[in-house]
């Protein structure tokens, strides 16, 4: 048995998005009041763990999610563009009407021809490549201890599929990566030996928002479709 290191991939908390914009990498989208509660729950839940390294996506919602934990630990996070949200050709589209948006905007359907790539956004292989590189850097920085990396649903889920050698092709409802969840990667030296999943803020998630493509308020998740 070598040196055990754990890298936790933390999805950000709920975002204030009353207009139902698929915001992707857009600036100006911050945590909602509930999102801030979720972020504090993370700090309360894992702030006593052996965490020595923090890094985050450059987007506001990710940095705001990490802020309470960083304050608890007294660690300045590293901003890492490699763990940013996935690129998406639907960024900026108003999905307030849910799936009916595609009926109103049939031009959007031309991006849906290849779910294996996917054709509507950043290729899965590229997402996995940049995320796994960042995870290994976090592992090196926290060798023998633990690290937390704040990212977004699709990049985290794609990383898990890659590490578990599973197909990238999936339905969004099957992603096990809810708001402020932890996907924890356990290393023996530089070898992945286990991937764990937990939901420290799971009880704060509104009913119906855990797996639906659109939230209870009609706003899409930022990495849909």
Q: Which CATH class is domain 4-16+31-86+123-204?
A: alpha beta
> What confidence category does residue 18 fall into, taking pLDDT thresholds of 50, 70 and 90?
confident
The stretch 106-126 carries a mean pLDDT of 66
Nearest to 133 by CA among 189, 82, 77, 191: 82
* Domain map (residue ranges) of the chain: 4-16+31-86+123-204
Q: What global pTM score does this model have?
A: 0.84
The residue ranking higher by pLDDT, 209 or 29, is 29
223 confidence band (pLDDT: 50, 70, 90)? very low
Whether the bond into 118 is cis, omega within 30 of 0? yes
Kindly tell me if the per-residue pLDDT of 213 is higher than 50: no
Report yes or no: 153 and 68 within 8 Å, Cβ to Cβ: no
């Amino acid at each position: 048995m070598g040196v055990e290191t754990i890298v936790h991939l933390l999805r950000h908390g709920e975002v204030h998005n009353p207009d139902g914009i698929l915001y992707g990498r857009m600036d100006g989208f911050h945590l909602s009041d509930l999102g801030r509660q979720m972020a504090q729950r993370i700090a309360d839940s894992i702030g006593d763990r052996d965490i020595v390294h923090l890094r985050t996506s450059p987007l506001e919602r990710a940095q705001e999610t990490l802020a309470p934990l960083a304050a608890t630990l007294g660690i300045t996070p590293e901003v890492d563009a490699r763990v940013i949200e996935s690129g998406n050709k639907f960024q900026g589209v108003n999905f307030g009407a849910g799936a009916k948006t595609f009926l109103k905007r049939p031009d959007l359907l031309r991006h849906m021809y290849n779910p294996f790539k996917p054709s509507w956004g950043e290729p899965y292989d590229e997402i996995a490549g940049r995320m796994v590189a960042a995870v290994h850097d976090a592992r090196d920085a926290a060798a023998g201890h633990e690290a937390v990396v704040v990212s977004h649903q699709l990049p985290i889920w794609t990383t898990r599929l890659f590490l578990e050698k599973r197909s990238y092709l999936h339905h969004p409802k099957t992603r096990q990566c809810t708001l402020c969840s932890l996907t924890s990667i356990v290393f023996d030296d530089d070898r992945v030996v286990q991937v764990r999943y937990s939901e420290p803020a799971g009880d704060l998630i509104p009913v119906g928002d855990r797996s639906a493509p659109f939230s209870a308020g009609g706003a899409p998740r930022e990495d849909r479709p």
